[in-house]
Amino acid sequence: MIGLDAIGIAAAMLPAAVALHHARDTGAPRHWRNAAFWGAFAVTLGAGPWLPDLVNGGLVLAMVALATLGLRPAPVATSDEATRAAFARRWGARLFLPALALPIVTLGGTLALPAGRLGGLALVDPKQVTLAALVAGAAIALVLALRLTRPPRGTAACEARRLVDGIGWPIVLPQMLAALGGIFALAGVGKVVAGGVLGLVAIDTPLVASLVYGLGMALFTIVLGNAFAAFPILTLAFGVPILIQQLHGDPAAVAALGMLSGFCGTLLTPMAANFNIVPVAALELRDRFAVIRVQAPTALLLLVFNIAALTLLAFPGGPK
C-alpha cells in the first residue's frame, strides 16, 4: 500500500538531484556546502521516518547552520531567450500540456480512488490519496515535458537546480514551520494564548468568538507562515472549547472556516515561501513583495467574508 513514507521518498528525489548536481559542479565555490544542504533535506524527506529523532534533529540543525553560513550557489547555464522563444513558436499551446496534467491527474486520482482501493485492491492509504495522486501527476507531467521537448540529458536536473537555487533555503520553510506549529501545540502555547485573550475579552457570543478565532488564525499564520501550523494552536485554544463546546458551533463549519481564515494570512506573509517567495523567484520579479501586494486586498476581503460566514452559519440560531 502506498503511504506517506513512499510519498516522502518521491518528494526527496528533487533535493537529491539538486544535491548531486551541486556535488558534481566542482568548479563552483561552496559547491559542497550547497550539496550538503540539499542532501540533508533529501535525507529528512526520504529517510526521516526510519531515522532516530536525534538524527533528524541533527540534520535540521545542520541545514540551519549551512543556510546561516550562506549558500550563494554559482549560476547555472540555461537556454537563452531566443531559444525559448523558438520553442514557444514551435510547440505553441502544447507546452501547457505538462502543466495541465498535474492538476488533472491529481483531481482525477482523488475522485477515482476515494478510499484508496482499485478493483478491491488496497492500493493507497485512504488518508493520503490526494498526495499520492499529486505525486503521480508530477511524474506524468515530467514525462510529458521530456517527451514533448526532448531536451539534452541532464536538463531536468539542471533546470531543477536553477529554480531551487533561485528560491534558496526558504523552500524548506513550509516543512519547518509546520513542525514548529506541532511543537507549539504540544508545548501548550494555545492554552497560554487563550488565557491571555480571555483575560482581555469576554468571548461569550458567536460574533466575538468568530472574530477572535478568525483574526487569530490569520495573525498566527502570518507569524508562522503556514495555516496548518496555526490551526492546531488556535483550534485547541478557542475552536474546540469555546466555539464548539461552549457555543455549540458546528464542528465542520468551525474547522473549515477557521482554516480558510488562516489561508488569508498565508496570502499576506513572506514566511509562506511556497506561495509568496517561490513565484517571485520563478518569475524573476524585482520586488520581493510583489505577490503579497497584489494578494492583500483579496486576502482581507476573504477574511471578512469568512468571519461573517462563521458567525452566521456555524451556530444554532445565528449570531447574538
* Per-residue confidence (pLDDT) for residue 228, from 0 to 100: 79
Q: How far apart are CA 197 and CA 217, in angstroms?
A: 14
* Per-residue confidence (pLDDT) for residue 41, from 0 to 100: 93
Q: Domains of the chain: which residue ranges? A: 1-167, 171-313
Q: Residue 320 pLDDT > 60, yes or no? A: no
Across residues 275-302, what is the average pLDDT?
Answer: 83
pLDDT digit string, tens, across residues 231-277: 888 888 888 888 898 888 899 899 999 999 999 999 998 877 777 77
Greatest CA separation found in the chain?
A: 70
pLDDT digit string, tens, across residues 115-168: 777 777 777 888 888 888 899 999 999 999 888 888 888 888 888 888 888 778
Here the cell at position 32 is 559542497
- Transcribe 205-234 into DSSP letters: SHHHHHHHHHHHHHHHHHHHS-HHHHHHHH
The candidate with the shortest Cα–Cα distance to 320, out of 241, 204, 202, is 204
Give the pLDDT band (50/70/90) at residue 296: very high
Which residues fall within 8 angstroms of residue 300, CB to CB, at 6 or more apart? 264
* Per-residue confidence (pLDDT) for residue 317, from 0 to 100: 67
* Per-residue confidence (pLDDT) for residue 75, from 0 to 100: 83
What is the SS3 assignment for 117?
strand
